[in-house]
Chain A
Amino acid sequence: MGTRGGWAALRRRSLSFFLDWLAWGYIAYTVMYLLNHYWYTVYVDWYGTLKLPSWGWPLVVLGTLELAVWSRALGRSLGLRAFGLEVTCPSLGRRILRAFLWHVSVLPLGIGVWLGRGEPWHDRLAGTRVRAVPKEPERPGRRALATQWGAMAAVLLVLTLWLGWLIIGINLQVLGRRAPWAAGIWRQMLRPDFRYFLESDPAFALRNLPFSILDLMVVTIFMAFLATVLGAAVAFPLSFFGARNIMGFSPVGWAVYGLTRGFFNVFRSIETILWAVVFAVWVGFGTFAGVLALTIHTIAALGKLYSEQVEGVSPGPLEAVWAAGGSRWQVVRYAVLPQVVPSFWAFTLYRWDINVRMATVIALVGGGGIGDMLFYYKNLSDWPKVGAVVMVIVAVVWTMDYLSGRLRERIT
């Protein structure tokens, strides 16, 4: 015990054990949910909360723990498979012995694991061993579904879909019953009304200016353009702070790296449309809020892509500049930049493409752009006009997609 390898092995074992426990817990929960749903249909609220008596929970926790222990002792469980481990098997009797001994060895605060010096008591006494699966098997592998882990994975999949079906409330009858009605809307949309394509709609005026579909589409493209330019301009310098190979391994470097990457990750995981809500409150409804929302998300998304690109540069030229006595920023300028600029352009174009797509819908929360018109007509149930707007959006987005794809091909 105490060696690095020993710790890593122990960590793998424990993680695989917790995965098993989790899997059994999930199965137990799902089964109880389904039982509750089909047999006592007492009360299934929107989210179908599962009610258990107070003594139920410890029972479930302990029961699933037992299931995990036994499934690991008796075969190759999902957790073992996921972490590439297996239990060598002398005989069934010893495997059963192992499961019993486990309780003595692990339950009292894992005493057997700590004192076992790399080989926990239950393994040592039962004569079993947990080891990484050898790379060169000598026996034919069994079919996935015939193995314990395969069966378990299949059960998990089926239960998940079943549970999902109930939780989401999927109802195909409604889909079928109301299909003619939906088809009516589709038909209206497919007979688009392009009256206001060039001519501005008097009912639809923003900022004292009446707008046509074309006007707003142009505005939308402008929004995406501005957000991309601003976003790229900010993300470009930031990306070097978020690259491990540039920041080095000093504590300051670590801190800056961590902060930058953290910023990228947090801001990226909040979608543009939610940012638009924040900015609409801040600067008022309209295109500016939309641009800001797009910009923020662009900075985070591009920053991450850029940083990864910087981290992926080939180290040869960097070494050459270091060796020639260059400073950190000279390394960036002469060794890193030439390598990353083409892919930076490619990512930026790609992002512009995404931004145009996003800009078409952020109007929903006050972000401005063509979406204003889309949702305005939708609220009036004026489907032919909605159809016209959607068609213009599709045409523009499709063209942008195509153009940016072609340009990216040329660049890289």
Chain B
Amino acid sequence: MANPYLVVENLTKVYERGQVVALRDLSFSVEKGEFLVVIGLSGSGKSTLLRCINRLVEPTKGKIYLDGVDVTRLSSARMRRVRRRIGMIFQQFNLIDRSTAIGNVLTGRLGYTPAWRALLGWFSKADRDRALANLERVGLRDKAYVRADQLSGGQRQRVGIARALMQEPELLLADEPVSALDPATSHSVMQYLEQMNREDGVTVLASLHFLSLARRYGTRIIALKDGQLVFDGPPGAIDDTRFKEIYGEEAEEVEVR
């Protein structure tokens, strides 16, 4: 492929309130099919970076090319069409608690549904079948009509994954997908992401807290510190010195099994 799939160039984000600089002049690129893990301390700008890519957060400066298109310059209507192709899952799952699991999964099709149908909640039969199939895929077929707030944390995140699957994404942004989960559930969720990456060829950008998870699942790792890129390379290349550089002198590595 001539051009990398995703190119981030000189990306800077300054939050107006409090003049906080979240990202400073960040540049990197991602090839199609990579599983890129972003690591760093809390507040190092991981979430902001992911949100700049689908413009949930407006970048202050810099360019982001997705498949050769500069998404930072798109009008909001065209941005919506780009967002359809970018799935996203969240640390706090961000499900609609009062809606059923399948209701939540169906919202993944909103980008493809005409506005009036969306307002009335009329999703097509094909979408409904697809939603059930995706729930089946994350192992929640029997919970389809259960309200989201009745589900456990891991189940909720799997609903989030099914919602992202509905978009048939090319790119998946995962913002600390397992931070709110216990270790065992974390692995099951990460395995679904890995499966999407391997089987469907979805490019994955995941921010993670634990280095062990990053090493286990990532094909490449970038590290942020105070909004700057401090590491970019294969998982194996992070040794003890690198680790201290990223997480500070005090830090100890914790294993998640």
B145 and A139 contact, CB distance less than 8 A: yes
Q: Mark B26-40, 1 if CB is under 8 A from A, else 0.
A: 000000000000000
Interface residue? B250 (CB, 8 A): no
A136 and B102 contact, CB distance less than 8 A: no
Residue of A whose beta carbon sits closest to that of B145: A137
The CA-CA distance from A137 to B102 in the complex, in Å, is 12
- Candidates A136, A139, A140, A141; contact of B143 at CB < 8 Å: A136
Interface residue? B3 (CB, 8 A): no
DSSP majority for the A interface?
loop
The CA-CA distance from A150 to B32 in the complex, in Å, is 50
List B contacts of A137 (CB < 8 A). 145-146
The CA-CA distance from A141 to B144 in the complex, in Å, is 11
Assign chain A's interface to a size class.
under 10
Which B119-164 residues sit within 8 Å CB-CB of chain A?
Answer: 142-146, 150
Interface residue? A135 (CB, 8 A): yes
Residue of A whose beta carbon sits closest to that of B102: A140
List B contacts of A139 (CB < 8 A). 145
Q: Mark B221-235, 1 if CB is under 8 A from A, else 0.
A: 000000000000000
List A contacts of B144 (CB < 8 A). 140
- A143 to B: closest C-beta gap in Å: 8
The CA-CA distance from A125 to B144 in the complex, in Å, is 34
- B118 to A: closest C-beta gap in Å: 16
- B31 to A: closest C-beta gap in Å: 41
Which A131-176 residues sit within 8 Å CB-CB of chain B?
Answer: 135-141
List B contacts of A135 (CB < 8 A). 146, 150
- A76 to B: closest C-beta gap in Å: 16
- Candidates A136, A138, A140, A141; contact of B150 at CB < 8 Å: A136
The CA-CA distance from A141 to B146 in the complex, in Å, is 10
List B contacts of A138 (CB < 8 A). 142, 145
18 A-B pairs (CB sep. < 8 Å):
A135-B146, A135-B150, A136-B142, A136-B143, A136-B145, A136-B146, A136-B150, A137-B145, A137-B146, A138-B142, A138-B145, A139-B145, A140-B100, A140-B102, A140-B144, A140-B145, A141-B100, A141-B145
Contacts A140-B144, A140-B145 known; list 15 others, CB within 8 Å.
A135-B146, A135-B150, A136-B142, A136-B143, A136-B146, A136-B150, A137-B145, A137-B146, A138-B142, A138-B145, A139-B145, A140-B100, A140-B102, A141-B100, A141-B145
10 cross-chain pairs, A with B, having the tightest CB-CB distances, nearest first: A137-B145, A136-B146, A140-B145, A138-B145, A139-B145, A135-B150, A141-B145, A137-B146, A136-B143, A138-B142
